[in-house]
Amino acid sequence: MSEKVDPKRRKALLITSGVMGAVTVAGFAVPFLSAWNPSEKAKAMGASVKFDLTKLDAGAMAVVEWRRTPIFIVHQTEQAKQNLPKLNEKMVDPALEEGLLRSSNDKFSVLKGVCTHLSCAPKYYPEIEWLGGFCLKLGIKSGLVVSFVHAMVLSLT
């Protein structure tokens, strides 16, 4: 063996080792980082949902799915809109200054149909006095506006 170190060979080995190390790190990093990206199925779940509002009669409700969550689209009747001020004294939170309907279109309500307590989907009962939803597991009523009735948690938030 030679006691003398060849600087050219040492430099070549260092460069080769560095390149091999970088390729190895990139080989492990690319699949790891690409696993953080959402899959096509996840992208489709979070995509916009289109619904034709003209198909919905007054007082009717449609349920569409968005991100595995039921979304209630309710075409409010004139009776339901007139009933909102009557329910105001039962509300814990005050009415908003810009109006009770809290939306730009007062004909339709778009609500996330999940009970805030156990994440169940409440049933819709438009013919009953409060004109809203009812959580069967807890017996909690909800109105078509998102407010608290007495001290109970609303089903529709």
**What is the enclosing helix (H) or strand (E) of 9?**
helix 7-34
Do 59 and 10 have their domain in common?
Answer: no
pLDDT digits (tens, 9 = 90+) for 31-64: 999 889 988 888 877 788 888 888 888 888 888 8
Q: Which amino acid is at 75?
A: H
**What is the enclosing helix (H) or strand (E) of 106?**
none
Do 131 and 54 have their domain in common?
Answer: yes
Do 67 and 15 have their domain in common?
Answer: no
Please give the tally of structural domains in the chain.
2
Comparing 7 with 137, the larger pLDDT belongs to 7
pLDDT digits (tens, 9 = 90+) for 76-102: 888 777 776 676 666 655 555 555 555
Torsion-angle region of residue 101: left (phi > 0), alpha (psi -120 to 50) or beta?
A: alpha
Do 106 and 56 have their domain in common?
Answer: yes
Q: Could you tell me the residue range of the domain that residue 114 belongs to?
A: 45-142
Does the pTM surpass 0.85? The reply is no
Give the contacts of 132 (CB within 8 A, at least 6 positions apart): 124, 125, 141, 142, 143, 144, 155, 156
Q: Which residue has the tokens 């409700």?
A: 61
Is the confidence at residue 146, as pLDDT, over 50?
no
Domain-embedded: residue 150: no
